A = this chain, B = another copy of it.
Amino acid sequence: MSSSVSLRVRLPVLVLVLEVVILALFAVFVTYDDNANAKLQNNQTNPMDNSLYRDYPYFADVQVMIFVGFGCLLAFFRYYGFSGMVFNFLTATFSIQWAILMQGFFQFYIDGKIHLGVINLLNAEFACAVVLISFGAVIGKTSPVQLLVMALLEVPIFAVTEWAVLKYIRINDAGGSILIHLFACYFGLGVTFVLYRPCLNKGHPKETTSYQSDILCVLGTLFLWVFWPSFNSALTIKGDDQHRAILHTFIGLSSSTMTAFALSAVFNKRGKLTMADVQNVTLAGGVTVGASVDMMISPAAAYALGIMGCTACFFGYRYLTPFMARRLRIQDQCGIHNLHGLTGLISSTAGICAILLATEETYGPSMYQIFSHRAPPEGDPKLLELQKLIPGLKPGLGRTAQEQALYQVAAIFATIAASTVGGLITGLVMNLSCMASPPDEGCFDDEIFFDVPSNFERLDDSKITINYEENEKEKISYDTKLAELSQRGSYSK
């Protein structure tokens, strides 16, 4: 076991190569954004108008989500806390660096240079969130080398998709339900499909939580919950749009949390609460309000969306995840298809409804700011008229609501297609033999990749093998066991 998973050569070589490449690209292509460039400062500049003060608070909040929130959330396995938290740290750090460059080439590239400001970092964090969500599908059965390779491929595929969708299809998706959650979900499912391990379907003996790891995971949930309004509103238009985004996210999370507790109790045989529900299903509302988060959907609609998303997510964990693992060879470790896929689809649908229902009566002239592609095109006299009411309104494409709705549908399918194909290809690369992939018995085990302290609990290896063989023999009791596991929330976690 030891030599095939040793990180001694593989990880340093990979990191060194990546660092040299990134450093070279930074040196050649990256310069400062105008807001970070000393040379452009003059007697017209008011320092407090610097874009830093608009973007940094949201950047900092999302940082907490990425590093602390995800870090704690992914440390939920009993013997895999180091790995969950630390691989998240490594993967996130690399993803952001890489996304600065990849998104930079597509979105911040002017005169042969990527112009770097906090706004790029903020965008890169969203690309990073995409990678971390996909990570959730394969946590426990991947090495840090594999995770870096996944990020290496996922970030550019995401950057291209994002750019193509935003530039050519042009959609409304302030909270990233389509581009972030659906992309991340189907990419992760593609990867995990290729990395399929039959034995994991039978429940790995280390695939369990401890009292301490469950508490740590709830802490991660709480950090995500608290800062999710910043996540969903970070890239909206400033002013009332961002204000609504924060209100809707908070409301959606609230109703989703209440619903999660109710469903958890009602579907537990002994009428108790299941920690896996508290840790995951409570968050469904944050995704579900995403696509329409900045629109005038009304607070009640946000509340209803939270309930709907939570319900779909809960039943997804209960029925869909085990089904996908057994029948479709898709082992979705953290259930990202429930928390990001199903909710993302609901959210996208809600977004389309909101687009179809949007009228100038409700939004006033600023409708053409939120639904920017519906604004009259350059030269249209209505544009001039509107620009008097909303100074700085940019010309749009003059789309009707129905047209915009169709483009949203196109974006959904395009994103799912691109991410699935990208995930499958990435999975194939991750499956190469040099990737230090842990053996089956070493899954969900910190000791494969970490020096562990003396009080690290170990499962007897012989025990594992026995349990294993038993599973092989008792193919009949297979489905029962799975159902049981998912009941206990330990698999579907």
Q: Which residues of A contact B (CB under 8 A)?
A: 2, 5-9, 11-12, 15-16, 18-19, 22-23, 26-27, 30-33, 35-43, 45, 47-48, 50-52, 54, 56-57, 60-61, 63-64, 67-68, 71-72, 75, 78, 81-82, 85-86, 89-90, 93-94, 96-97, 116-118, 121, 144, 208-216, 218-219, 222-223, 225-227, 229-230, 237-244, 246-247, 250-251, 253-255, 257-259, 261-263, 265-266, 268, 270-275, 278, 282, 296, 298-300, 303-304, 307, 362-367, 369-370, 388-391, 448-457, 488-489
Provide the bound-state CA to CA distance between A35 and B247, in Å. 11
Whether A226 contacts B63 by the Cβ 8 Å rule is: yes
Contacts of A211 in B (CB 8 A): 81-82, 452-453, 455-457
B50 A243 Cβ-Cβ under 8 A: yes
* Inter-subunit contact A219/B50 (CB<8 Å): no
Measured in the bound complex, the distance between the Cα atoms of B50 and A48 in whole Å is 12
Known: A48-B238, A81-B215, A266-B8. A19 touches B307 (CB 8 A): yes
A23 touching B271 in the complex, CB below 8 Å, given contacts A15-B259, A68-B223, A247-B118: no
**Given A239-B50, A240-B38, are A265 and B94 neighbors across the interface (CB < 8 Å)?**
no
Q: How far, in Å, is A451 (CB) from chain B's closest CB?
A: 5
Q: A35-B240, A261-B90, A273-B86 are in contact. Are A226 and B64 (CB under 8 A)?
A: yes
Q: Closest chain B residue to A30 by CB distance?
A: B299
Name which of A68, A82, A247, A457 has the most chain B CB atoms within 10 A of its CB. Answer: A247
Whether A262 touches B218, Cβ cut-off 8 Å, given contacts A38-B240, A90-B257, A451-B273, is no
- Contacts A39-B366, A40-B240 known; list 14 others, CB within 8 Å: A8-B266, A38-B362, A40-B364, A50-B240, A60-B227, A68-B222, A68-B226, A72-B219, A81-B215, A86-B273, A86-B275, A211-B457, A451-B488, A451-B489
Query: Please, which residues of chain B bring their CB within 8 A of the CB of A93?
Result: 253-254, 257-258
A6 to B78, CA, bound (A): 27
B82 touches A265 (CB 8 A): no
Q: How far is the CA of A454 from the CA of B209 in the complex (A)?
A: 8
Bound complex: CA A172 to CA B265 (Å): 44
Please determine whether B30 and A300 come into contact, CB atoms closer than 8 angstroms: yes
**Complex CA–CA separation, A303 to B266 (angstroms):** 51
Does the CB pair B258–A303 fall under 8 Å? no
